[in-house]
Amino acid sequence: MSSIPLMPGIASRMVQTARLTQHVRLSGPEDGVPVIFVHGNNSCATFWEETMLALPEGFRAIAPDLRGYGDTEFQPVDATRGMADFADDIFALADAMSITRFHVVGHSLGGSVIWSMLATAPERLLTVTLAAPGSPYGFGGTKDVEGTPCWPDFAGSGGGLVSQEFAKREAAQDRSEENPQTAPRVIMNTYYWKPPFRPAREEELLSGLLSIKVRPDHHPGDLVTSANWPGVGPGVLGPNNALSPKYVGDGPARILGATNKPPILWVHGADDQIVSDQSLLELGTLGKLGVMPNWPGEAVFPPQPMKRQTRSFLRRYEAAGGRFHEVELAACGHTPYLEHPETFNQVFHAHLG
């Protein structure tokens, strides 16, 4: 059923929900306490298998491939809803499996999905674990801890900023290391974790990266032209546009105003190059480094302070009656649960308890 080989102890099946048919990886007892794992962009649920198998006794791991990734039925992502299509899919999966409340874990884009889940139905979440999550204010084009946009039209965010050559090589299932600037394998081993780390299941994880559906209505997604630097803004289709701060809306305010506030664990790597205050995939950083020409300067378009945004928001969450715990791992990139599994699982399992 899974197009990517499964680790011993992991099963998979297709689950028909009210929204779409989802491919789901499973481990642990069927009557165990449910823990739903949400993967990141340019990946699929295979990234979670080791973490699923390491769960304490009595927990049931459930890891779906999101729409547009892995073996789940393809449905377009309406980016104007932000992460809501993904969030609604997770809740629909829980409904189809007769799960009322559950623990939820999200990595990168999966963390962004959880922000949307917290804004939608926090009463269904027992605990929240965020592993290197996207900022609650989206990816790209904001300049302070409050998520103020650099431009009114949110230029500098969205699908138009994705490397077209990288996407073409994903579509071609290119597993080589030729032309390393756009080789998916090299990108993964450079940015997903801190070199020289190489995962034992590198081939399966690369297959997960290559499982994203490359098509105009998904990845990279559409774009609009802008008079503001760098000349492009977010379109309305696909996950890269859904990550734009243009479509975050009142989600952060709804999270802060909700009566139900599940406890949040935030784990991130000190050397993350994707989600950081100097992200090498974000245009403010690239402009400051001189990589992107005609940068309008730090006063107009600084590097997005992604981690400071998350920290500031979680402190506001705490002040509003919630609670959170932050763990930063040294010598760690964008995937703390793979790079430092013992430390990650120790704090994660304690949080579940």
**Phi, psi of 331, deg, nearest 5:** 50, 45
Cα–Cα distance for residue pair 227/296, rounded to 1 Å: 13
- Per-residue pLDDT reduced to its tens digit, 55-68: 999 999 999 999 99
pLDDT score recorded for residue 142 = 98
For 49, other C-beta atoms within 10 Å of its C-beta total: 24
Q: Which amino acid is at 169?
A: R
Mean pLDDT of the chain: 98
- Per-residue pLDDT reduced to its tens digit, 266-290: 999 999 999 999 999 999 999 999 9
Judged against a pLDDT cut of 90, whether residue 2 lies above it is answered with yes
pLDDT score recorded for residue 1 = 81
CATH superfamily of 11-352: Alpha/Beta hydrolase fold, catalytic domain (3.40.50.1820)
- What share of the chain in percent tops pLDDT 70? 100
HSE value, Cβ hemisphere, 13 Å, CA-based, for 250: 4
Judged against a pLDDT cut of 90, whether residue 91 lies above it is answered with yes
Domain limits, the chain: 11-352
- Per-residue pLDDT reduced to its tens digit, 316-346: 999 999 999 999 999 999 999 999 999 999 9
Report residue 198's pLDDT band, with 50, 70 and 90 as the boundaries: very high
pTM: 0.98
pLDDT score recorded for residue 234 = 98
Cα–Cα distance for residue pair 164/59, rounded to 1 Å: 41
Cα–Cα distance for residue pair 32/36, rounded to 1 Å: 12
Q: Which amino acid is at 215?
A: R
Helix (H, G, I), strand (E, B) or coil at 35: strand
The mean pLDDT value for 230-256 works out to 98
The H-or-E segment that residue 130 falls in is strand 125-131
- What share of the chain in percent tops pLDDT 90? 100
Two structure tokens written together for 71: 């073996």
Q: What is the DSSP string of 179-234?
A: STTT-HHHHIIIIIS-TT---TTHHHHHHHHTTS-BBTTTBS--EEE-SSTTSEEE
